Amino acid sequence: MLTLAIQKSGRLSDSTRALLRDCGIQFQNGSSPKLKTRATNFPLQILFLRDDDIPECVADGVADAGIVGENICAEKEKSVQIVEKLGFARCRLSIAVPREFDYAGPHDLNGLNIATSYPVVLRRFLQSKDIEASIREISGSVEVVPGIGWADAIFDIVSTGSTLVSNGLKEVHTVMESEAVFIAGPAPAAEKQALIDKLLFRIRAVRKASAYRYILLNSPNAALEHITAILPGMKSPTVMPLAMEGWSSVHTVIREDDFWEIIEELKLAGAEGILVLPIEKMID
């Protein structure tokens, strides 16, 4: 049985639960006082924890693995390994100052009081830049602190930046980029590693599929060579004759971003009836 720790509530929790379900793993949502559950079709127990507790839970061996923000791993400095970056819950840890502050570079932080919920990451950054500043550790709404005169600047998570703007702040320096990561202990036992590998196999198949689309289109046979040359398929497109003489159906899998780059070129080459379909799983 593999034990996986995930965030019990919030945006990261919602995305993690959706990912596990996309991996075909069936389980009941955890809700207080029920903070753990077992999957019904995979040897997996899920613990629903505060995100701050997940790295320590994995480091101490209570959980074999976890899904948590990379920023939390950096702050907690526990003995865990980041096995896989998962590509969702993206954010950044940034310095922000009042809108009227004339900021030219990190050296302008010297002598300031900086409020943050991430003192470890901030201290490491300040030391790397030889900056002398005071750190005020705050829990909760860090962005309101400069407005009440408790600090000169903040260091906090930024997603869109709208919260900063609404509090009269501006983002001036990004210290680290963060996303959800899959973590494990430093040396999982062989049987646990085998289950981790099975779970990661599913996760990778789901993640890869989300970036690709299945493309179907009709092509006049006279344009087949041109159209198949345009399509950046995984190997080569599948071409099948249509009932209408002189036409063929072309099937391939391409990155969604590539499709939007070549759609006009396909149409100009004579492609018709273009269909774009999502892919649930994708295995190399």
Q: What CATH fold (topology level) applies to the domain 212-278?
A: Alpha-Beta Plaits (3.30.70)
Q: With beta carbons less than 8 A apart as the criterion, state whether 175 and 165 touch.
A: no
Count Cβ atoms within 10 A of the Cβ of residue 99 and give its class: 0-12 exposed, 13-18 middle, 19 or more buried: exposed
Predicted confidence (pLDDT) per residue in 74-93, tens digit? 999 999 999 999 999 999 99
**Confidence at residue 187, expressed as pLDDT on a 0 to 100 scale:** 87
78 φ/ψ angles, rounded to the nearest 5 degrees:
-95, 165
Task: Establish whether domains 2-88+179-209 and 212-278 are of one fold.
Answer: no
Dihedral class, residue 149 (left if φ above 0, else alpha if ψ from -120 to 50, else beta):
left
Which candidate, 177, 166, 155, places its Cα nearest to that of 96? 155
Cβ contacts of 247 within 8 Å, gap of 6 or more: 218, 219, 220, 221, 241
Q: Which of helix, strand or coil describes residue 133?
A: coil
User: Considering the domain 2-88+179-209 in this protein, what is its CATH number?
Assistant: 3.40.190.10
**Confidence at residue 233, expressed as pLDDT on a 0 to 100 scale:** 61
**Confidence at residue 32, expressed as pLDDT on a 0 to 100 scale:** 52
Q: With beta carbons less than 8 A apart as the criterion, state whether 44 and 199 touch.
A: yes
Residue 61 CA: distances (Å) to CA of 70, 194, 201: 19, 16, 22
Q: Which stretches in the chain have pLDDT values below 50?
A: none
**Confidence at residue 31, expressed as pLDDT on a 0 to 100 scale:** 56
What's the CATH superfamily of 91-178?
Answer: Periplasmic binding protein-like II (3.40.190.10)
**Confidence at residue 239, expressed as pLDDT on a 0 to 100 scale:** 93
Q: Which sequence spans correspond to the domains of the chain? A: 2-88+179-209, 91-178, 212-278
